[in-house]
Amino acid sequence: MTIIHTRYKSLVPSKGHCDKRLSPKPLLRVWPAAESPFRGYEALPTDGYAQTSGNTAIVIDNGASTLRAGWASDKSPRVNFPATVARYRDRKINKTVSYVGYNAFADATTRGQIRNAFEPGSSIIGNWDVMEGLLDYTFVSLGLSGQDGGVERPIVMTEPVANLAYSRNSG
């Protein structure tokens, strides 16, 4: 090796000497990072309330990983999102901000605050504050304003098979 300048080194092989450091290196493989499930901001389908009659029930399916909801007259659920809520205090606007479902994966700040409604490895609700946020978001997504604090429709909600009595009484 010959030093050309005091700050920069040039790797010039000497005559008749083969250095392993000077041989070409294999190309590095680049592995793509897993994409987060953020789907982008989508408009909520709020037209369902106007299309249903006064006695059409709201069906809510609490899965272990996703929450699906819709009207009893629909063939498929209108709303389908993960059962996660991210809440944090935004210092710029000095308010608590909540993101529900896929929106909780929007950026690193919200991803660090994600809370699941269910106990790990089960479909039993363990965090009722998160479940309240999920149900509020579900009703807004279905077009229910809840201005008077209630829902004037029948509600059909699923629960896990062989659900324990303590999980029903803790809410």
Residue 12's pLDDT is 52
**110 has pLDDT over 50:** yes
**168 has pLDDT over 70:** no
Tokens 């269910």 correspond to: 118
Average pLDDT over residues 59-71: 86
Residue 28's pLDDT is 67
**Which of 46-50, 100-104, 119-123, 139-143 has the least mean pLDDT?**
46-50
CA distances to 97, 104, 141 from 91, in Å? 10, 18, 28
Contacts of range 109-113, beta carbons closer than 8 Å, 24 or more positions apart:
110/86, 111/36, 111/86, 112/88, 113/86, 113/87, 113/88
Rounded Cα gap, residues 98 and 107, in angstroms: 13
